[in-house]
Amino acid sequence: GATEGVKVLWIKDITPLPHNGCRPPKRRRV
């Protein structure tokens, strides 16, 4: 449970690319 949360946390940290699909669109908007 807690381990999975941490995994997703560090995964999103090292993969701030379109993988999330929430960062690229935000930057384009601005």
Residue 10, pLDDT above cutoff 60? yes
Q: Under DSSP, is residue 26 helix (H, G, I), strand (E, B) or coil?
A: helix
pLDDT of residue 25: 58
DSSP string, 1-30: -HHHHHHHHHHHHH--STTTSSSHHHHHH-
Please state, in angstroms and rounded to a whole number, the distance separating the CA atoms of residues 23 and 20. Answer: 7
Residue 16, pLDDT above cutoff 60? no
pLDDT band at 5 (very low <50, low <70, confident <90, very high): low
Q: Under DSSP, is residue 19 helix (H, G, I), strand (E, B) or coil?
A: coil
Over residues 9-24, the mean pLDDT reads 60
Q: Which two tokens stand for residue 1?
A: 């449970």
- What percent of the chain is modeled with pLDDT above 90? 0
